Structure 1
Amino acid sequence: MAELIWKGKPASLIPASSPHIPSPRPLLTQQVYMPESPQGTTSHDSPSTAWQNRLIWGDKTAFLPALLVDFAGTIDLIYIDPPFMTGRTFRRGAEIVYHDTWNNDLDIYLQWLYETLSTLHTLLSPRGSLYIHLDWRTIHYAKIMLDEIFRSGSARSGAGFKNEIIWHYQSGGNTRKYYSRKHDTLLLYTKSGQYCFHGERIARPRGQVRRNHMRKEIAEDGRITWTIRSSGRIYTYDEETPMPITDVWNDISHLHQKDPERTGYSTQKPEALLERIILASSEENDLILDCFCGSGVTAVVAERLNRRWIVGDQNELAISTTRQRLLTHELKRSFVLQQLHEQHSLFTD
């Protein structure tokens, strides 16, 4: 099997229970935000046992080890949109949001990414799925890393790579020196062959566009059907027949400057993108993790779709933006704001 090597790579993955890993620092709850009504709790919940979603302020290298104590092997769906190694410093006005420069050292970035993906694999449940969202700069490195991390027993268990998804979008800007880059890539990996996937939930109506050399027929009542002959049989579909989603997503637009979803966070992704992922790869009440929550889209969509969630980010603006977005929606469950003990409190309300 091919292996990616870089300066500083450990000889093997370090088990989460290794005695060489220092005890994780505790996460302290600073604020609790309650729904206006208790519709998010089930009949057997009590105020002391009801699940509380988590918004965590801190670097993933600190709070992910803390999550291992209680959540190793329990996360049903992980979506991450980590830094792309763009070499840029992202700003909001004069305020620096985060640096994505890495001292122009690929080895540093690869070690950081490898440690992140290894820990996320440990957190993932046996039926869990992981989506990583990157672009042309580093997606090929992530693919080889994930092949290594998910390789254990994959031939028999069905674990490992499932899809390379192309998210193609129309945006401004072009170049005369090479083809314009207008897509991101998402990789889908699963911990076993027994994973959650519901393609039918995200299928789209076939519509009136001709596909696969089908013959179009219009009935007297105006209803459109499509027929095609294959292996001696005739297959008929109408325009409302669900059509499975492929691995090229060109029907979800990037966020335009005046889009009402926009929060001002520079790397914000559209809610439709996360809605597709969450509907396809999780059930209601499943637990979702995003350790680079940015604008908060994962938490917002997970909340709306009645999934439990844990999201975090090291950036204060990301936490503030996520918190504000959540508080403008109807909460199904309470959520807590947590942070590492040595940090100052972000909010006092």
Structure 2
Amino acid sequence: MTNLLYFGDNLSVIKSEIRNEAVDLIYLDPPFNSNRDYNQIFTNKDGERSSAQIKVFEDTWYWNNDAEKLYLETIKYYNNHLVSNFLISMRQFLGTNQMLAYLTMMAPRLLEMYRVLKPNGVLFLHCDPSASHYLKLLLDAVFGFKNFENEIIWCYRQGGRGKRNFAKKHDTIYFYAKNKEYTFNADDVRVSYEGTGGYINNKNNGGNLVNGKLYKPNPNGKIPEDWWDIPALTPTSKERVGYPTQKPLKLLERIISASSNPGDVILDPFCGCGTAVVAAEKLGRKWIGIDITHIAITTIKDRLIDEFGLLADFNIQGEPVDIEGAEELAKTNRFQFQIWALSLLGMNYKEDYNSITKGADGGIDGIRYFENGKEGNLRKSIIQVKSGKVSVKDIRELNTVIDYESADMGVFVSLRPPTRNMVVEAARSGFFTDYKGNDFPKIRIVEVKDLLSHKIMPFNIFPS
């Protein structure tokens, strides 16, 4: 199969795109109901962290009409009495609050994941104490409590310190199997005996006598306990892509190595910055990744190309491929439309974005840097993206922002065709001449349809 990266809601993607019993291992790191926002941090050209951030997702849930509808649909559609009883009981216990909204979001997704798992498939759900106790009960309802295998505690030292309680320094990973015939490659995940509190002294080649039985150490080490002391990523880690909640590659490599084989299919339905996808690719597994934010899709795409180059064999599904799809995305989520439109310009989150904001952005949706001179000094182009009605006022405002930011040029990306007055106003702005003597319009209006049809390419827009 071809590796697939889906841009869309994982519930609808799994329902419509993944057949029964097609997946060997599922790893999911869903939002934790932590009641906070998560931002992506970008880096400057010199590799230093920038103050520029963008909100990737809001981990806050509300009980509203959509939650009520999904609650009723889950109870009626899936006809799973254990899950239905769980949701009904939680409603009686919790009331219609944000925790019930979160569990209502998770329930049908876990049922769909169970459907697509092979009979010997496994699932690892990554969470923290915010909702882990409720998720454990939900997993028992979906998989059956007898198919619970491990509660893995991932310990780390990074993070905040407690002031009025003990510092929170661990996450929980629940390990469930669809039945007892699942894969477990013990020899692929063995660790050293020494310094881990194990009962065998690795230096004693003759073994240790425990309760009258002689245990000889395995020369490759021991199977890890259900607590894993794997360092979280530091702010300066080379692995970091700036994405919030990014997990270390070593953590995902252990999970995938232990419970799948080369060629098996790995599914990550909340793939974020794609650590599970990268680990699967590195270990020779096939993979399916799903995320509802285009910033995640772009981050993963860039990460795979950086890591594996031309060997990264994958297709992206769910992105708009025509103007109708672009209009639908704009109608559904204008901010995700903005991120997608910027990607059409070849924008790279780790290198090109120094300023991307949502809301009061000062007229800047993106900044593209380019070299202007043999000395390699960087100049900048201001980018604005519009998905609604446009007028000559927008061009005048962009011109003001360009001058205020001491930029050389600006690009106005529009879903709608520009008016005649807009074209005239942009032409009046004049030209920017690069060090090679090439002239570029100070303001260039670019229609989304021309980017989609490749009538206009990024290298035709920016100096190089």
Matched, 1:237 2:217: yes
2:58 to 99, 105, 108: 99
Q: Contact between 1:216 and 1:226, CA under 8 Å: does it hold in 2? A: no
Q: Alpha-carbon deviations, 1:78-112, whole Å to 9, x = none?
A: 00000000101112334211111113611111100
AA aligned to 1:113 is: M
Q: Distance in 2 between matches of 1:138 and 1:339?
A: 30
Q: Deviations over 1:226-274 (max 9, x none)?
A: 7422344544438x44211110001x11000000000000110000000
d(CA) in 2 for partners of 1:211 and 1:133?
A: 26
Give the deviation of 1:284 after TM superposition: 0.5
2:26 is aligned to 78
Q: Give yes or no for contact 2:190–2:220 (8 Å, CA) kept in 1.
A: no
**Shift in alpha-carbon separation, 1:325–1:226, aligned structure 2, 3 A:** farther
Query: Judging changes above 3 Å, is the alpha-carbon distance between structure 1 residues 231 and 183 closer, same or farther for their aligned structure 2 residues?
Result: closer
Q: Distance in 1 between matches of 2:214 and 2:108?
A: 52
Deviation at 1:306, TM superposition (A): 0.8
Q: Partner residue of 2:334? A: none
Greater CA drift, 324-333 or 83-92: 324-333
Q: 1:304 to 1:215 in 2, by over 3 A?
A: closer
Deviates more, 1:334-343 or 1:102-111: 334-343
Shift of 1:115: 1.3
Say whether residues 1:64 and 2:57 are aligned partners: no
Which whole-Å CA distance do the structure 2 matches of 1:192 and 1:209 have between them? 31
Change (3 A) 1:236 1:94: closer
Specify whether residues 226 and 320 from structure 1 end up closer, same or farther in structure 2 by C-alpha distance, changes over 3 A only.
farther
Quick one: structure 1 residues 338 and 233, their matched pair in 2 at CA, closer, same or farther if it must change by over 3 Å? closer
**Paired letter, 1:109:** Y
Root mean square deviation of aligned Cα: 2.3
Distance 2:103 2:161 in 1: 29
State how far apart, in whole Å, the 2-side matches of 1:134 and 1:229 are: 39
User: Do the aligned residues in 2 keep the contact of 1:210 with 1:216 (CA within 8 Å)?
Assistant: no
Fraction of identical pairs, as percent: 35
What does residue range 113-262 of structure 1 map to in structure 2 within 5 Å?
113-151=106-144, 160-207=147-194, 211-212=198-199, 225=205, 227-237=207-217, 240-250=219-229, 252-262=230-240
**C-alpha distance after superposition, 1:18-44 (max 9, x if no partner):** xxxxxxxxxxxxxxxxxxxxxxxxxxx
Code of the residue aligned with 2:58 in structure 1: it is H
Q: Tell me if the contact between 1:215 and 1:227 (Cα under 8 Å) persists in the aligned partners.
A: yes
Q: In the aligned structure 2, how far is the partner of 1:169 from the partner of 1:242?
A: 22
Residue 86 of structure 1 aligns with an amino acid whose one-letter code is S
Q: Which amino acid aligns with 2:299?
A: T
Cα displacement string for residues 301-334 of structure 1 (whole angstroms, at most 9, x for unaligned residues): 1111110000010111111110001111225562
In the alignment, which residue of structure 1 is the partner of 2:303?
325
* Alpha carbons 1:306, 1:332 under 8 Å: kept: no
* Contact 1:126–1:192, Cα closer than 8 Å, also in 2: yes
Select which of 238, 260, 266 maps to 1:288. Answer: 266
Alignment gaps of 5+ in structure 2: 41-51, 63-96, 320-324, 330-336, 347-464
Q: Larger Cα Rg: Structure 1 or Structure 2? A: 2
Aligned 8 A contact 1:52 1:333 in 2: no
SS at match of 1:255: coil
State the Cα distance separating 1:54 from its structure 2 match.
Answer: 0.4
Structure 1 residue runs without a partner (length 5+): 1-50, 218-223
Q: 1:215 to 1:97 in 2, by over 3 A?
A: closer
- Measure the CA separation in 2 of the matches of 1:144 and 1:249: 23
Q: How many residues in Structure 1 have an aligned counterpart in Structure 2?
A: 282
What is the match of residue 248 of structure 2?
Answer: 270
Supply the distance in 2 between the matched residues of 1:264 and 1:129 (Cα, whole angstroms).
30
CA distance in structure 1 between the aligned counterparts of 2:27 and 2:189, rounded to whole angstroms: 17
Aligned amino acid, residue 57 of structure 2: Y
Query: 1:44 corresponds to which residue?
Result: none
> Comparing both chains, which one has the higher relative contact order based on Cα–Cα distances under 8 Å and sequence gaps of 6 or more?
1
Query: Aligned equivalents of 1:322 and 1:102: distance in 2?
Result: 26
Distance 2:251 2:281 in 1: 15
Structure 2 CA distance for aligned equivalents of residues 137 and 326 of structure 1: 31
Q: Secondary structure at the match of 1:85?
A: coil
TM-superposition CA deviations, 1:99-129 (whole Å, max 9, x none): 1111361111110011111111111110100
Per the alignment, do residues 226 and 90 of structure 1 end up closer, same or farther by CA in structure 2, a change over 3 Å counting?
farther
Contact 2:153 2:171 in 1 (8 A): yes
Do the aligned residues in 2 keep the contact of 1:206 with 1:241 (CA within 8 Å)?
Answer: no
